Structure 1
Amino acid sequence: MEELAEAAGITPRTLRFYRERGLIPPPRREGRIAWYGPHHLARLRTVAALLERGHTLNGIADLASAFESGRDVGEVLGLGEPTEEEPVRLTPEQLADHFGDQVTAENFAAALDLGYLATDGEEIVHVSRRLLDVSSALVDEGVPLAAVLAAARRVRHHADALAELFTDLLRAHARDGDVDRLRPLAKSVVEAELSMALDRRLRARDAKA
């Protein structure tokens, strides 16, 4: 314990306190001997980094609990890597850099439930760099992360329905039924319709002003 505390730049008493609060996982035990490994040091450095970013110990403890219960990356991506999206590996500190103090246990759990995030050891994997960048940009614009995730759940529902519609349409009528080859056509239709829908919404809002 003393060696781990020294490597992390904290006192053994602080390390014991962190362990009691659930900020780090328990050590591996062999009889009366407790073994700490590199993942414990990584977690302690994460705790220090989150404290520097203004997170409280209670908030970090809740986040650690959500992290420990998170779905493994193999479970989220087990059906295959996204064909067009680039997964991003993040440390908890890097995730906090994107979203600041809005990286709460509740938001983390919501992102895990959506399948946006997964865990891989001490790392976090976001399934899509584009979605990560857009979510971060929306938060920078003042949209709460909880609202972004709630909207994402609604978008997911509509996106699944659109994917089913186009898959059925192309398999039933396209010459070779190759949905993957024709997916750019489906994406173009959705992008154009969304653009026109936004135009209609904005014009309607301006007319009421």
Structure 2
Amino acid sequence: MEELAAEAGITVRTLRFYRERKLIPPPRREGRIAWYDERHLARLRTISALLERGHTLSGISELAEAFDHGRGVGEVLGLGTPTEEIPVRLSPEELADHFAGQVTPENLAAAMALGYVGTDGEEFVHVSRRLLDVSTALVREGVPLAAVLEAGRKVREHADALAGIFTELIVTHADTADPQRLRPLAKSVVEAELSLAMDRRMTAGPT
């Protein structure tokens, strides 16, 4: 325990507190000896990163419980079950390969806070194959993963607002139109408007 606390940069008292709150999984025991490994260290570093980003211990505790019981972070955050996006299961090594060594505790905490990444046993689960592919491509083009995640956070805010507009439209006219047919039409409007907006921005130049 002392070695783990020192490696994580926290006190033994804090580590005991985290254990009591079940923020980290129990150690592997051999007789009276408790063994901690890299998974415990990674969890502690993720906790520190989440705290630095303003998350509360109770919120982190809920995430930790979800991960330990195989529930996705999207479920915990109330994002619901994706209807079109395909989740992707990745080993820690595969996740690291996607992002060229940029899977730091801070970036992992940001991805978890967004609901992009959760854990299931020894594996990570990314909520969307499309988002994973796009994020990977951006990083390979030279965009830092931290910048990709920050852009994702900002896009999420606007996407939620757009979803609200079209959800209201669908609900309002559900008696005369098929919601399943309106959804792809709404997505086409957003794609077209985004394309036009990027044309305008690129023509105008940087602001």
C-alpha contact 1:27 1:34 (8 A) present in aligned 2: yes
2:159 alignment partner in structure 1: 159
Kindly indicate whether the alpha-carbon contact (under 8 Å) linking 1:171 and 1:177 is maintained by their aligned counterparts in 2. Answer: no
The alignment's TM-score, normalised by the length of structure 2, stands at 0.69
1:84 alignment partner in structure 2? 84
Q: Percent identity?
A: 62
Corresponding letter in the other structure for 1:84: E
Change (3 A) 1:61 1:33: closer
- Residues of 2 paired with 1:130 and 1:64: CA distance? 30
CA distance in structure 2 between the partners assigned to 1:63 and 1:137 by the alignment? 27
Q: Does 1:66 find its partner at 2:46?
A: yes
Matching residue of 1:94 = 94
Q: Letter of the aligned partner of 1:109 in structure 2?
A: A
**In the alignment, structure 1 residue 124 sits paired with structure 2 residue 124:** yes
Q: Is the 8 A contact 2:72 2:120 kept in 1?
A: no
CA distance in 1, matches of 2:166, 2:126: 26
Shift of 1:29: 3.2
Partners of 1:93 and 1:190 in 2: how far apart? 35
Q: Matches of 2:176 and 2:182 in 1, distance apart?
A: 10
Greater Rg over alpha carbons, structure = 1
Q: Who is 2:185 aligned against? A: 185
| Equivalent AA in structure 1 for residue 140 of structure 2 | D
Q: Which structure 1 residue ranges, 4+ long, deviate > 4 Å from structure 2?
A: 17-20, 33-36, 60-64, 67-71
- Partner Cα distance (2:169, 2:25) in 1: 50
The verdict on how the C-alpha distance between 1:19 and 1:154 changes in structure 2, with shifts beyond 3 A counting, is closer
Compute the displacement of 1:178 (Å).
Answer: 4.4
Deviations 1:99-143 (CA, angstroms, capped at 9, x unpaired): 122110000000000000001111100000100010010011111
Kindly indicate whether the alpha-carbon contact (under 8 Å) linking 1:89 and 1:126 is maintained by their aligned counterparts in 2: yes
Deviation at 1:88, TM superposition (A): 0.4
**What is the root-mean-square deviation in Å for CA atoms of aligned residues?**
3.4
Render the CA deviation track for 1:43-75: whole Å, top value 9, x for unaligned.
68xxxxxxxxxxxxxxx9456632896552524
Letter in 2 for 1:172: T
**Contact between 1:67 and 1:119, CA under 8 Å: does it hold in 2?**
no
State the AA in 2 paired with 1:201: R
Q: TM-score normalized by structure 1?
A: 0.68
Separation (CA, whole Å) in 2 of partners of 1:140 and 1:114: 21
